Every structure is written in structure tokens, then in C-alpha cells.
Structure 1
Amino acid sequence: MKTPDHDPWGRLLQSRLTEGEGGAPNRFDYGGLKASPEDRAALKAYIASLEAVDPEALSRDEAFAFWVNLYNALTVEVVVEHYPIASIRDIDISPGLFSNGPWGRKLVTVGGRELSLDDIEHGILRPEFGDPRVHYAVNCASVGCPDLAAEPYRGEDLDAMLDEAAGAYVNSPRGARVEGGELTASSIFKWYMKDFGGTEAGVLAELRKYAAPALREKLENIAAVASYDYDWSLNDTAEPENGE
């Protein structure tokens, strides 16, 4: 069985990702990667190597990590191919008259199946694994999104990495913030409320589950989400103040 080697992805993340501080998002150097033939070749080779893997032969955790890493690497590749852009939604390559973004375009073939980013997230990761923490792991190249992880997901560390990602996002202003006694939450919790129990009470339970003490105290008297928001600006190192 061919097992996935995620080290090449790890090296790209190490050289091109800048970690945010104090709840600021991690940012990626798309322009630098685009300007580097070596890095572009490494990214394409990594994705090709994953295409040669049989995910059915992997353990559950290894398969989860495989699909998350593939999703994130493909997202970086499609952004780099169309860079410079202000938002991933500007990449209008999905089929359909009213679609926007790259999510519907078939980008990769795994196990004989042509797959889009939507196929990976909504056809495989969400239904087959049933873990809402997937929303903290897959990255859509946007400031409002949970961070692109600074290292590859790996089966042996999966649970801890998912919990870490959940905590980092929920406790950032992008995930949840309470101002004037009102809660503003990421639109992710609205778009995918089904995965968080199907109700706003489920969303509140999710936030409280991962809230650090300071946020948990603010959430104590919150009975509803006042509003949802999301920043689609590209999580690009070239414009560090963008969307902040």
C-alpha cells in the first residue's frame, strides 16, 4: 500500500506560512510561491503523490488527515494559479451560471474519481467522518476562515490537532466575539449549523466547549447569536492589514 508522505507539504508551510498572533489569522505567501518554480513544482508533486494513494486502505484518522491536507494543498494551488486576487471568490472557474469561486471545478483524481473541493469537503469529509471539527481544519484561503495549519495534519496527532484548531478559532475574533453583551459568530456556524447540532443552541454549546476562560465568562449570559459575519479577503502576506 502506498502511504501518504505529507513532509513536502510541511516544508512548503514552514517556508511560506506566517502565523498570526493574538487571534490574527495565519497568512500565506501566495506571491512568493508563485514566483518560485521549485516551490510550485513541489506543490504539484505533492498533490500528484496524494492522487496515487488509496484512501480506502488508510486508517480512519490517516484518511481524515489525507483529505484535509489534499483540500488545503489544492486550495493553495488554485489561488496561486490565479494570483494576484483579492478574494478566492474572484476565481470564477466553477461550472454553473450563478456559481462563483473554484469549489465546483474538478481539480484532482483519487481512486479513479474526479473530485472538486466541494466533493472533498461535502461529499467525503463531512458525511463520511461526521466530525464538526472538519470546519476548523479545511481552509478556504480567507481571513475569516479558521487558520491554515502551520503543519500537515497527521493521523497520529489528528485529535489533538483538531481540538487545537477549534480552540484557536473559537477564541479568535473571527470565530466568536462578545461586544456590548451581544455575540457575533462566524458565518461558518450559520452555514453549517446542521453539523453543530442543527440549532443555535448547538452553536452556543460548540462555542462554550472550546471557549477559553475569558470568552466563556462572556458567553455565560448569552442566549442567542446576535449576528454572523465572515471576511472573504485573501489570507495573503502581501497585504497584512487587509480585512483586519
Structure 2
Amino acid sequence: MRDHADGVTRLRYAAWKASGPDLAVLDGWIAQAAARTPSAMPRAVAFAHWANLYNALTLKVVLQRYPVRSIRDIRSTGVGLDPRQFIGPWRTRLVTVEGRPLSLDDIEHEIMRPTFRDPRVHYAVNCASIGCPNLWPRAWRAATLERELDAAAAAFVNHPRGATVLADGRLRVSSLYAWFREDFGGSDAGVVTHLRRHATAALAARLAAGTPAIAENAYDWALNDGSTAA
């Protein structure tokens, strides 16, 4: 993992894929996590568990198919005629937890979002893309979860790929806020309220007057690959 001056964290996929021991450690961690019982865990422990498992599985999927330009180039398998199979690996069932086969979509949309009802889920899970909130540099832990989720939210909201105030005062925001609008208040005003909650002084000042309109949203699906970047 390497941080860049542009504020986007990238991973050294090529080096990781070339290291048999590192791949084995990842596989071993996933196996151990899958054997646990998250339904019996306290809330913060369960949140950290699911987020860490999601991120580890995403890394494994990308490493298995690397080199790829985007995670969206990896199709889902075992999903019949589901058209979503062609735009990413999120429908493939990758792991079995408490007897239930799960895909990445299952973990995020069937477990984490409805269980925790916390918009910071979107800052905790990483889709291996430039446009995604950065992969947190450490495994999520219950003891530091609240503080670190707030830090991850602030890092994304205050980065141009999270929110940018345009010259006319309107906003360009991440497509996350359009795709999952219901998690961010269900409206443009709700999204702006969420942005204000995590904005630093500079962004907060730009958002202070009224409720700026959201003019557009954007997302960069290029792989967050730092293998050859300077």
C-alpha cells in the first residue's frame, strides 16, 4: 500500500501477487474470519469483522485476476442469467459464513447496510477503485471504530473525489451519494447535511450558505494500482 500526493491510496498488486507467502497469509486470514460467528458479536466487533472480510475478499478477487484495468472487468460467476455478472465480481459467492454462502453484494447490501444503518459503511468497504474511499491502512477494530470511521469519512468528503464546490456554487460529488442516496438522508439536502457533518473548515465555509444544489456526480473505476506509479 502506498499513499500519493493526490490523496488516493494505491496498492502494490504486482508485488503482492508475486509473493506466495503473502497470498497464503491473505487466504488464511479469510478462512479464519469465515469460521467466526458474527451474529454473536457486539455491534462494533461485528461491523469491523464484516468490513475487514469484505476488503480482504476484494483484494483476493483482484489479485486472482491481476493485471486488470478495473475491478469492473472481472465478471461474476455462478449467477445464471443475472446481467450484473458482466460489470464486476460482486455477485459471485466467495465465502460461507455461519452456513450462508455470501457474495460481496450480500455482505454490503444484505448485511452491513441494513444491519448497521450507518452511512459510514461506504467509507469502510473498498472497491479497489480510484473513485472509492481509501482502503484504511489498518484492519478495522472495535476499540477505535468510531474515531477511525469518522476519520475515513472526513478524508473522503474533503477530497475532490468526495465533494467539490464548482465555480457557480453548485456541487460535484461522488456517485456514491447518488447510488446510495437513501443512506445519506434520501435527498440532495440530506447529502449536503452529511457532507457538512464531516467537512473541514474550508469546505464547511463553502457549504455554509443555504443548501448548494448538486450539479453532477462522478466516479473513477480505474484500479487503485500503485504497482508502477511513482
Q: What pairs up with 1:118-197 in 2 under 5 angstroms?
A: 118-180=105-167, 181-197=169-185
Distance 1:166 1:97 in 2: 32
Corresponding residue for 1:117?
104
Contact 1:61/1:155 (<8 A) preserved? yes
Corresponding residue for 2:216?
227
Bigger shift: residues 49-58 or 65-74 = 49-58
Distance 1:118 1:97 in 2: 13
In the TM superposition, residue 239 of structure 1 has moved relative to its aligned partner by 4.7
Verify: 1:42 aligned to 2:25, yes or no: yes
Aligned length in residues: 224
Secondary structure at the residue paired with 1:184? strand
Verify: 1:18 aligned to 2:2, yes or no: yes
Q: Residues 78-111 of structure 1: CA distance to partner in whole angstroms, max 9, x if unpaired?
A: 0000000000000012433522200000000000
Distance 1:125 1:98 in 2: 24
Amino acid in the other structure paired with 2:188: E
Distance 1:225 1:101 in 2: 27
Bigger shift: residues 231-240 or 137-146 = 231-240
Verify: 1:237 aligned to 2:226, yes or no: yes
Contact 1:19/1:150 (<8 A) preserved? no
Verify: 1:33 aligned to 2:22, yes or no: no
In the TM superposition, residue 218 of structure 1 has moved relative to its aligned partner by 1.5
- Mind listing any 5+ residue stretches in structure 1 that lack a counterpart? 1-16
- Mind listing any 5+ residue stretches in structure 2 that lack a counterpart? none
Contact 1:132/1:196 (<8 A) preserved? yes
Secondary structure at the residue paired with 1:40? helix
In the TM superposition, residue 58 of structure 1 has moved relative to its aligned partner by 1.3
Gap change, CA 1:240 and 1:225, over 3 Å in 2: farther
- After TM superposition, what 4+ stretches of structure 1 lie above 3 angstroms from structure 2? none
Identical columns (%): 50
Q: Residues 164-210 of structure 1: CA distance to partner in whole angstroms, max 9, x if unpaired?
A: 00000000011001121231000000000000111110000001110
| TM-score between both structures, scaled by the size of structure 2 | 0.94
Bigger shift: residues 186-195 or 172-181 = 172-181
Q: Residues 22-51 of structure 1: CA distance to partner in whole angstroms, max 9, x if unpaired?
A: x52111111111100000000000000001
Amino acid in the other structure paired with 2:190: G
Secondary structure at the residue paired with 1:71? helix
Amino acid in the other structure paired with 1:57: A
| TM-score between both structures, scaled by the size of structure 1 | 0.89
Distance 1:225 1:179 in 2: 10
Contact 1:137/1:149 (<8 A) preserved? yes
Distance 1:60 1:47 in 2: 20
Corresponding residue for 1:216?
204
Corresponding residue for 2:64?
81
Amino acid in the other structure paired with 2:117: G
Distance 1:202 1:220 in 2: 14
